[in-house]
């Protein structure tokens, strides 16, 4: 296994590079790819920056240039469900590009010419990641829930309850919203690479989302990502 680890922002990957043995940094396409060994796993860590194109570019490069065989995306997301609270963790079972709409040529949300609306994650990788999250969260002082289900990605930071409600109308089982996962999902589907997405909830995708997001990424996000990935790599 050669594991690619993507996050959008530095805060979401804090500490990971320092934990790498024999780290070598390679800059390509305006991103720094750090190869090395993470708790005995051959890994490549990279920051994609924000949005679907940025994430797709990064995922494709990880596979084509750095030869990764598996990809994990870790970061934060806005809640899209009352049962999913700030601080909770969501492991994606599937991802949807919630701003994809080529209707009437193709049904709304369907990625044209793939026949897919919900891009599935790898079952085994997601199971292992959820297990790692479970072990990490069981040691947390706060009561934190682990959810499995659908995550939506779009090139929009959602900070509007009305906009979120409109999204939920079309996708009732949406658990969280972010801006990269479903793009990585499409790249991995097309290149046949097993991948998984784990997101910690930073905000409620409503009017206070921007402030909550800023606060959360700086305080909690990196600690979670580091702890969960360590558990994952250590098995």
Task: Give residues in contact with ligand ADE (CB under 6 A).
Answer: 76-78, 157-159, 177-179, 202-203, 205, 209, 213
- Cβ proximity to ligand ADE: between 213 and 224 the closer is 213
Query: What are the φ/ψ torsions at residue 209 (nearest 5 degrees)?
Result: -60, -40
Please confirm, yes or no, whether 12 is among the known catalytic residues. Answer: yes
We find the least distance from the C-beta atom of residue 163 to ligand ADE, in angstroms, to be 10
Residues 85 and 185 sit within 8 Å (Cβ to Cβ): no
Instruction: Name the minimum Å distance from CB 206 to ligand ADE.
Output: 8
Report how far apart, in Å, the C-alpha atoms of 177 and of each of 130, 140, 215 are.
18, 24, 18
Looking at the Cβ atoms of 155 and 190, the one nearer to ligand ADE is: 155
Q: Which residue is nearest to ligand ADE (CB)?
A: 78
Q: How far is Cα 42 from Cα 47, in angstroms, rounded to an integer?
A: 17
Check: CB of residue 100 under 8 Å from CB of residue 110.
yes
Shortest Cβ distance from residue 209 to ligand ADE (Å)?
Answer: 4
**114 Cβ contact partners less than 8 Å away, ≥ 6 residues apart:** 186, 189, 190
CA distance 217 to 75: 9
Nearest to ligand ADE of 159, 186 (CB atom): 159
Rounded to a whole number of angstroms, the minimum distance from the CB of residue 101 to ligand ADE is: 18
Is 101 marked active-site? Answer: no
Residues 11, 12, 81, 212: which is the catalytic one?
12
Question: Which residues are marked as active site?
Answer: 12, 203
């Amino acid at each position: 296994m050669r594991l690619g680890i993507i996050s959008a922002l530095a805060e979401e990957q804090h500490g990971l590079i320092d934990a790498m043995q024999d780290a070598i940094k390679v800059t390509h396409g305006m991103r720094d790819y750090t190869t090395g060994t993470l708790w005995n796993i051959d890994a490549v860590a990279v920051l994609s920056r924000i949005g679907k194109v940025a994430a797709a570019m990064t995922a494709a490069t990880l596979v084509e240039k750095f030869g990764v065989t598996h990809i994990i995306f870790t970061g934060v997301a806005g809640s899209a469900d009352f049962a999913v609270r700030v601080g909770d963790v969501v492991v994606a079972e599937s991802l949807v590009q919630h701003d994809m709409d080529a209707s009437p040529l193709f049904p709304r949300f369907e990625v044209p010419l793939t026949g897919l609306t919900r891009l599935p994650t790898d079952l085994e990788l997601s199971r292992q990641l959820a297990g790692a999250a479970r072990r990490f969260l069981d040691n947390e002082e706060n009561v934190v829930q682990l959810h499995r289900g659908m995550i939506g990605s779009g090139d929009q930071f959602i900070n509007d309850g009305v906009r979120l409600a409109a999204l939920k109308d079309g996708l009732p089982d949406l658990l969280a919203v972010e801006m990269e996962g479903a793009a990585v999902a499409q790249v991995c589907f097309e290149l046949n690479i097993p991948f998984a997405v784990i997101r910690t909830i930073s905000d409620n995708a409503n009017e206070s989302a921007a402030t909550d997001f800023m606060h959360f990424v700086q305080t909690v996000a990196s600690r979670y990502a580091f702890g969960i990935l360590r558990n994952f790599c250590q098995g």
